[in-house]
Structure 1
Amino acid sequence: MNTKLLLENTKKTIQEFEAEGEAEAISFLIIEYLFKLSRMDVLMEKEIEVSSTDHEKIESILSQLKTGKPIQHILGKVEFYGRQFLVNPNVLIPRRETEELVHLVLENHPDLSEQLIIDIGTGSGIIPITIAKERKHCEVYAVDISTSALATAKRNAMLNHANVSFIQANILEDDLDLPKSNIWISNPPYIMNKEKIEMEAKVYEHEPYTALFVPDHDALKFYERITQLAFKHLVQGGALYFEINEQFGKEVKKLMQDNGFKDVKVMGDMQGKDRFVFGKR
């Protein structure tokens, strides 16, 4: 069967419940996953054998998609910064903005030899694992409150042959026993409960609630606590990086400045929305 035709047929079905662009992206993922093909293979209209079992697998995936289940959970994996990571309902599905955060850190720190990096709220482990792979001579720690998330992160570290130390802790309550470090990174929960009505149901129904949402009246609680802990544990000149809710760029910047950080900057993502705040101790 012609792969381009298979793509169009799959896309047509998915467009019954998804926008065209999203339907095409999902269709590519399904074909790449089931037939071990590259996107270029599909675009070049490679001919493949599609068995009755293959058709049944496609139908099963489409049925699950119709219920709102994310394609990443159906396939059980996602690509992040050119590597494969396992995902499930215990961890957030990585967003493009977080890839931008990792790229920002790597771009600002081309040499992390013998430096120590801490990731707070690691989830699936995408941030520390990527940094450990891209900067091989650094020491990386990752912290999360969830045992289930840490189990997934540890599997991802093994899958990617990354050397990362994982710590279970409640960042809001525990006094972390961490060594002096050079960089802290965090993509904490930052969506206010009142914003839930603007989100797709498949996000908040299939991803961990506590990793997404914060109370409307205390939306910056993670940023405040992490900033205080980072200032305590960072070496002089060490850096703190946050991914943020676009509404709170100025507030997070001021919070960091009030806690002693210098050269604090707010940076937009590829959509032009305030998404990252970083500064030096």
Structure 2
Amino acid sequence: MQIQEFKQLFFKELSDNYPQTEIQSFFNLLIEHLLKMNRVEIALQPNLIIGKDDLIFLQDAISKLKKEIPVQYIIGETEFFGLPFKVTNDVLIPRPETEELVHWIIKDHLDKVQNSELKILDIGTGSGCIAISLAKNLPNTNVYALDISKKALKVAEENSLKNNVAIQFITEDILSIKKLPHQFDIIVSNPPYVRELEKNQMQQNVLGNEPHLALFVKDENPLVFYDKIADLAKTHLKKNGTLYFEINQYLGEETVQLLHQKGFKEIQLKKDIFEVNRMIKAFL
């Protein structure tokens, strides 16, 4: 089957499930992944024949997309901060707002790493996207990444190799541990923060496929991870160390108040590209 023929089939099969722009995005991602061609090359070769094995993969992809399986899981990879990352349903698919958090940290510390070595801890690392992006863009750093899930850490380890950075991985339940292995200049976390009551606001492709362990917290204690991580940060951040969080957009002021009560200072609440409260920075 030619690319142009498959494209017609692809759009026809998915037209009842997704808008045209999203179908086009899926098509581009799948073809680029399989044929290692960019969009211009694809457009210039509409008569190129798709091989049998690739066609089987693409037809299977259509079936999975109809079941609302995210295209990143179908392909098995995604891009974050300009870097390639393997993703499986053991890890969350990295979001663009998390890229903003990474950019904030790099902007704050790029000058500092020219003169001194920094030690960074990423808590709840998942795919490793935060830790690896920081290690790649902040030279002269020692980066540690912690997660409760051994399966997630296996994916993160593969991603560290894929991106040629050295990360020290730690398997721990952050809610259970009493101390961290070192003193750190930066502690960053994008922990579970979606309340059970917010499930009805989420898309089915997220609810049905991404790991709930990394997404949800109980309604009665939605800041449980922030509370514990802040306590650990008080005793494991170096002098003038910085704590960064990605947060629930509806709990920005509550998270700021929690950090105030624990003695943090110069707390900054920042909006993301969607103009909602999404990030916090605080100092000891």
TM-score range, shorter chain: over 0.9
Equivalent of 2:168 in 149, 165, 178: 165
Please report how far the alpha carbon of residue 18 of structure 1 lies from its aligned counterpart in structure 2 after TM superposition.
Answer: 1.7
Q: Is the 8 A contact 2:2 2:50 kept in 1?
A: no
Asked if 1:150 is matched to 2:149, the reply is no
2:151 maps to amino acid? S
| Cα shift at 1:222 | 0.5
Report what 1:251 is aligned to: 254
1:81 counterpart residue number: 81
Contact 1:169 1:176 in 2 (8 A): no
- 1:197 equivalent to 2:200? Answer yes
CA pair 30-260 structure 1, distance change in 2 beyond 3 A: same
Q: Which amino acid aligns with 1:222?
A: F
- Tell me what 2:245 maps to: 242
**Equivalent residues of 1:7, 1:31 under 8 A apart:** no
Give the unaligned 5+ runs of structure 2: none
Question: Are 1:3 and 1:45, in contact at CA under 8 Å, matched by a contact in 2?
Answer: no
Alpha-carbon distance between aligned partners in 1 of 2:40 and 2:244, rounded to the nearest angstrom: 36
Match of 1:123 in 2: 126
Following superposition, the deviation at residue 280 of structure 1 comes to 1.1
Query: How high is the TM-score relative to the length of structure 1?
Result: 0.93
State the partner residue of 1:182.
185
Q: 1:154 aligns to what SS in structure 2?
A: helix
Q: Structure 1 residues 176, 24: CA separation in 2 closer, same or farther (over 3 Å shift)?
A: farther
Q: Which residue of 1 aligns with 2:68?
A: 68
What percentage of residue pairs aligned between the two structures are identical?
A: 38
Question: What SS is found at the alignment partner of 1:136?
Answer: coil
- Report the number of matched residues: 280
Q: TM-score by structure 2 length?
A: 0.93
SS in 2 for 1:275: strand
**Structure 1 gaps, min length 5:** none
Mapping 1:1-281, distance limit 5 Å: 7=7, 9-42=9-42, 44-47=43-46, 48-111=48-111, 112=113, 113-281=116-284
Moved more, 93-102 or 51-60: 51-60
Distance 2:143 2:4 in 1: 43
Q: Which amino acid aligns with 1:59?
A: Q
- Check conservation: 2:270, 2:277, Cα contact below 8 A: yes
Offset at residue 235 of structure 1 (A): 1.0
Alpha-carbon shift at residue 31 of structure 1 (Å): 1.0
